[in-house]
Amino acid sequence: MDRLDAMAVLLAVVSEGSLSGAGRKLGMPLPTISRKLSELEDHLGARLVIRSSRQLSLTEAGRSYTLACQRILEQVDEAERAAGGEYSAPRGSLVIAAPVVFGRLHVLPAVTEFLKAYPEIDVRLIQSDRNAHILEDHIDVALRIGNLPDSSQMAIRLGEVHRVACASPQYLAQRGVPETPDSLSGHDCISFDVLTSPEGWLFRESGSDRLVPVTPRLVVNTAEAAIDAATSGLGITRVLSYQSLESRRARRLEPVLVDFQPPAWPVSLVYAAQGQLPLKLRAFLDFAVPRLKATIQQAAG
């Protein structure tokens, strides 16, 4: 039995929540996953996983062993990276995650210049408005917008962005400009569901945050769709400041309820805490952080 391989199978089963999910993640047939897990349990003389038709759960021994496996495999991975030269010269592959619009406007230009400066480094840029899991998805560094949960991950603050309500000049001329958040009840709204709940939008009034009910005529899952619908005159939308900046500068959208904006959200680069930082990651952080700070400051609005 390959113990490291069996450990990797166990971690995949836990992260995916099922044997079939682990098989898809690792590219192994289900019988192989089941066999490797059984062999590991036989080797240890302990039951690690309780399997049923409805769910999969860890035993007490399984929970402690899984944590140990994660530490061991991380150490092995770090040793292999060191042997491969990642700690002696900036080379290798970097996986970077960023939100879709922010990635296109700000991260991609920094990555492009970084690759020109470091010809021995390759980058895979993953753009999604859903936060990827740094360890499970093997991401080296991720750009996060919003308050960060307490964790063992390291974070570098880059700046901040605001949530901006806006509409086309044509819509506002026809329907009027809302003076208070409660005025939204008389307007057509477009909700970007990654950013806001379709049931309500958060505003700051008299020093306190308040969720104001809205009844959207359209709910979309990308900022581009929300902005396109708003510029067409459909109604009022709310997106992040950098997402609507181009349209606001071109006067295709006008901000509304500016005095009621909730507190800004921080923008951060997040990476897994580890002993010795690979030079490829250190090189990217040193290169990208000042550039991203400058672009975020220029795009503030």
pLDDT value of residue 1: 79
User: Using alpha carbons only, what angle is made at residue 65 by residues 62 and 69, rounded to the nearest 5 degrees?
Assistant: 130
Distance CA 29, CA 26 (A): 9
Residues paired with residue 213 on neighbouring β-strands, in sequence order: 200
Query: Which residue reads 């308040």 in tokens?
Result: 210
| 3-83 fold | Arc Repressor Mutant, subunit A (1.10.10)
3-state DSSP assignment of residue 54: coil
The full set of domain ranges for the chain reads 3-83, 92-161+265-299, 163-260
Distance CA 118, CA 241 (A): 32
Domain 92-161+265-299 shares a fold with domain 163-260: yes
pLDDT value of residue 84: 63
pTM of the entire predicted model:
0.63
| 92-161+265-299 fold | D-Maltodextrin-Binding Protein; domain 2 (3.40.190)
| 163-260 fold | D-Maltodextrin-Binding Protein; domain 2 (3.40.190)
Q: Which residue numbers in the chain have pLDDT < 70? A: 53-54, 78, 81-89, 150-152, 198, 273-276, 299-301
